[in-house]
Amino acid sequence: MTLVFIVNSILLGIGLAMDAFSVSMADGMNEPGMKRRKIMGIAGCFAFFQFLMPLIGWLCVHTVAAYFTAFQKFIPWIALILLLYIGGKMLFEGIRGVESGEEEGMTRLGKRELIVQGIATSIDALSVGFTIAEYNAVLAFVASLIIAVVTYVICYAGVRLGRRFGTLLQGRASILGGVILIGIGVEILIRGV
């Protein structure tokens, strides 16, 4: 492990964490009263999937690369569908809450939705397995671990920042969060196609 390896892994982590940052910010806006433990859980979920996906990609390169190459063209579509589902649900429930006169108009993020978000924002990290294919297993593991730590820090900051905006936006935060998630899904599709 060299300084270049560590810096490259950190930069890779920053690049991969941007979608997760935006989604975690939307999660924070959706639930401004969120406790610190849940904030850590959200950041941890995104970090876990950002850790896991490059390792799965690396493993695919070293085992079933032909199958993974065929699957790669579907990755943007899968991310879009997952983010449309979560974002649409937030948007619908936010609009319903505002129309019914509820002050909050917000939904709480459940474990299932969080896992879907974690997969959707990290599925493009599967292709990172190709970029780290020349690493041995230990270096691939360390690179994925560095990516996870960077993602955790960025997503923790994203949720906290989103909470601050969510408090300012009150009941409209769920609507904005849903729109953001849908926008991220469309952006992933456009970038990937």
Please state the domain extents for the chain. 3-192
User: What dihedral angle (degrees, nearest 10) is formed by the CA atoms of 168, 37, 25, 16?
Assistant: 170
Euclidean distance between CA atoms 11 and 106, whole angstroms: 34
pLDDT score for 145: 97
Q: What is the pLDDT of residues 98-153, one digit of tens each?
A: 666 554 445 567 888 899 899 988 887 877 777 787 889 999 999 999 999 999 99
Name the strand (E) or helix (H) holding 88. helix 75-99
Q: What is the pLDDT of residues 22-71, one digit of tens each?
A: 889 888 888 888 899 999 999 999 999 999 999 998 888 777 765 666 66
Round to the nearest angstrom and report the end-to-end CA distance of the chain.
34
Euclidean distance between CA atoms 174 and 107, whole angstroms: 7
pTM beyond 0.85: no
